Amino acid sequence: MTASTTDEPRDPTTLELTTIELAKESMKFSAGHFTIFSADRRERLHGHNFAVSVSLTGEPDDNGMMGDYGEFKRIVLDLCRDLDEWVLLPGRSPHLILREEGPYLFAEFDGHTIPFLRSDVQVLPVRNVTVEELARHLCSRLVDEGQVLQVAPIHGLTVKVSSGPGQLGSASWQRGT
């Protein structure tokens, strides 16, 4: 019995890309935040169990793999762990001024001072703690720290962050942009 394989030579110029999707139940973080809608309107402080999913597009190797997705999972889980059980504040908001005094961090918003224990807060390099900005933040960490890009020839990746069923924000990176 002969294995039926087509022996036509493949066109070496056609780049065959594949995508890995990772949306594990464990890719999540619980955090407190408030969304700022304008210079004088925001939500009260509250929390979400945020869910994260990542898709990576790249070139499979001769072994039919784009790297071990176990490595990708470990990297994403580490990023989720970094954000878990913190109050997240935006460090780049046009409407919020942050001031540290001893063990406290004060957030000035619309003439009001919101006190926090500094040890409860992570200030993120984002303009607002929204699903779209959290997705951008995680996407840039995946790219800037280069970890994912060292695992396999990745051409693009997308990070999605959901604050609850049926609502999410996403951010993408494409090689060469």
Ligand X SMILES: Nc1nc2c(c(=O)[nH]1)N=C([C@H](O)[C@H](O)COP(=O)(O)OP(=O)(O)OP(=O)(O)O)CN2
Quote the tokens at residue 37. 């809608």
**Closest residue to ligand X: CB criterion:** 164
Size of the site for ligand X (CB under 6 A): 9
Out of 32, 106, 122, 130, the only residue in the binding site for ligand X (CB under 6 A) is 130
Determine the residue type at 60: P
User: Among residues 114, 110, 126, which one has the least CA distance to residue 41?
Assistant: 110
Q: What is the C-alpha to C-alpha distance for residues 18 and 11, in angstroms, rounded to an integer?
A: 17
Indicate whether 162 belongs to the interface with ligand X (CB under 6 A): no
For ligand X, the closer CB: 18 or 167: 167
- The residue to which tokens 């460090």 are assigned: 91
From 90-98, 105-113, 125-133, 139-147, give the range in contact with ligand X by CB under 6 A: 125-133
Crossing angle (nearest 10°) for helices 69-83 and 131-144 = 130
State the residues that interact with ligand X by CB under 6 A.
Answer: 35, 43, 46, 130-132, 163-164, 167
